[in-house]
Structures are given as C-alpha cells and as structure tokens.
C-alpha cells in the first residue's frame, strides 16, 4: 500500500500555482503561459510509445552507456501542464561560501511508495521496470522532478553517487517534457564532452557505470528558452 507524499523542506511552502511559484523564486510569471506546446503532440490523455525495438543504445567508456528513445511520451503537452499545476514545487536552498542561495531550478521528490502526481508516471515506471528487469535486476523506486523555468535554470556537473551509485552499476531513467534542453556528459576524470539534445517527451537512460565514471549536467543558456520538466526514476538507494 502506498503511503506518504512528495518530500520537501518543512520551511518551504509548496503550491500548485505557477504564478506563486515564480513569486517565491523571485521571477514572477505563470510557467504554463511561458510554455509553447506542440500542435502535433496534444491529446486528451497522454500515453507511451513502445520501448522494445525503439531504444538506441550508445556505448560510452569504462562500462557506461546511455539509451535514447525520442518521443516516448505521446500527448506530452497535457502531461507537462498537469505537472506544472499540481506538483508541490519548492526552491531548495544551499550554502555557498558566506551566503545561502536558491538552487537554480524547482524540485519535488517522490520517495519509495509515495503516490506519483500523474497516472502516466506510474505507467512509465512500470514500463521501464519491465523493459530493464533482466539488465537492472530490480525496479525503479523513486521519482525526482525538476522544473527548469527558463534558460537561467540549470544543474551543474555531477553524477548520482549518493548511496549505491558511488560503488555499484545502476540506472537512472529521465523523461524530458517541455522546451528542448541539452544534456551534456563527460568522463569523470576529464575528456570530450558529449551533447544530447532532449526534446518534448524524450527518454534517456544512463546505465552501467555511468554515475560512477561519467558526469552529466544541464547548462544555462543565453537564448530564449521555455520551461522544461525532468522526471528522474531511480532504484532503491541511488540519489
């Protein structure tokens, strides 16, 4: 039986209003108004395309790899708008030298057994569990959501190495909704940077030793960029 709900700091108020989110973060405006949907991808209810036979694997070095499935989520406009409006987004704060700053994106984390904010995310997790069951050997258990409001929101170079990701091979599956943004990858010890543009409804899975031996980021961009939501599914003990 599912229990609890999304986790957020107790001193950070959540809200289902895009306008209030931007007021709290210092950039006033409705995120859904900034989103430019696709006339070809709006449906009454979102759905999933096939994974079998449609996923392209790109081998990296040191036993790492990524899988790519463009356009996995169909009707992703509707899903994007629902998540913007209903997820209790919060702005995480971090210490930087002698001051406290907002992390440059909004967040919401759904721990194991917490109800997910849309039925399609349950379907997506189940489809990923089935597709990667033999290779991963365990289900995906948590869902982390990030809202990049515009091109000034970003995530720095990192690997998901909190917990088992530091020592074990694992997988992180990411669904991208909204405005296209590039995910960059590079070997942890230095090397050539690989750029993968992620579009509306695309899936990328980072597997093998990717979290230990490679790093990834979503950089800031100076161009005019609309909002984007990233949905990350992880197994138990990987953050």
Indicate the domain borders of the chain. Answer: 18-235
Each residue's pLDDT tens digit, 194-205:
999 999 999 999
The mean pLDDT value for 165-187 works out to 95
What pLDDT shows up at residue 20?
Answer: 36
SS (H, E, C) the chain: CCCCCCECCCCCCCCCCHHHHHHHHCCCCCHHHHCCCCCCCCCCCCEECCCCCCCEEEECCCCEEEEEECCCEECHHHHHHHHHHHCCCECCEEEECCEEEECCCEEEEECCCCCCCCHHHHHHHHHHHHHCHHHHCCCEEEEEEEEECCCCCCEEEECCCCEHHHCCCCCEEEEEEECCEEEEEEECCCCCCEEEEECCCEEEEEEECHHHHEEEEECCCCCCCCCEEEEEEEECCEC
Q: CATH for 18-235, among 1.10.357.10, 1.10.510.10, 1.10.8.50, 2.60.120.590?
A: 2.60.120.590
Q: What is the pLDDT of residue 4?
A: 58
pTM, full prediction:
0.84
Question: What confidence tens digit (pLDDT) does each residue in 80-108 have?
Answer: 999 999 999 999 887 777 778 788 999 99
Q: Does 68 score more than 90 pLDDT?
A: yes
**Region 102-122 average pLDDT:** 96
């Amino acid at each position: 039986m599912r229990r609890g709900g999304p986790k957020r700091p107790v001193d950070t108020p959540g809200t289902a209003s895009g306008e209030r989110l931007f007021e709290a973060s210092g950039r006033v405006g409705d995120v859904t108004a900034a989103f430019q949907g696709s006339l070809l991808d709006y449906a009454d209810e979102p759905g999933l395309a096939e994974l079998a036979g449609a996923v392209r694997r790109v081998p990296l070095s040191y036993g790492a790899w990524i899988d790519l499935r463009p356009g996995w989520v169909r009707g992703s406009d509707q899903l994007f708008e629902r998540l913007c409006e209903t997820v209790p987004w919060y702005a995480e704060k971090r210490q930087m030298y002698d001051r406290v700053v907002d992390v440059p994106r909004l967040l919401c984390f759904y721990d194991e057994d917490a109800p997910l904010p849309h039925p399609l995310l349950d379907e997506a997790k189940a489809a990923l569990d089935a597709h990667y069951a033999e290779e991963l050997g365990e289900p995906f258990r948590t869902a982390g959501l990030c809202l990049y409001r515009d091109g000034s929101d970003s995530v720095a170079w990192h690997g998901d190495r909190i917990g088992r990701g530091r020592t074990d091979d694992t997988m992180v599956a990411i669904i991208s909704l909204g405005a296209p943004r590039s995910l960059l990858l590079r070997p942890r010890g230095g090397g050539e940077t690989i750029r993968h543009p992620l579009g509306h409804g695309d899936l990328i899975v980072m597997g093998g030793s990717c979290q230990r031996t490679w790093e990834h980021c979503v950089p800031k961009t100076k161009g005019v960029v609309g909002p984007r939501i990233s949905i990350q599914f992880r197994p138990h003990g990987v953050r």
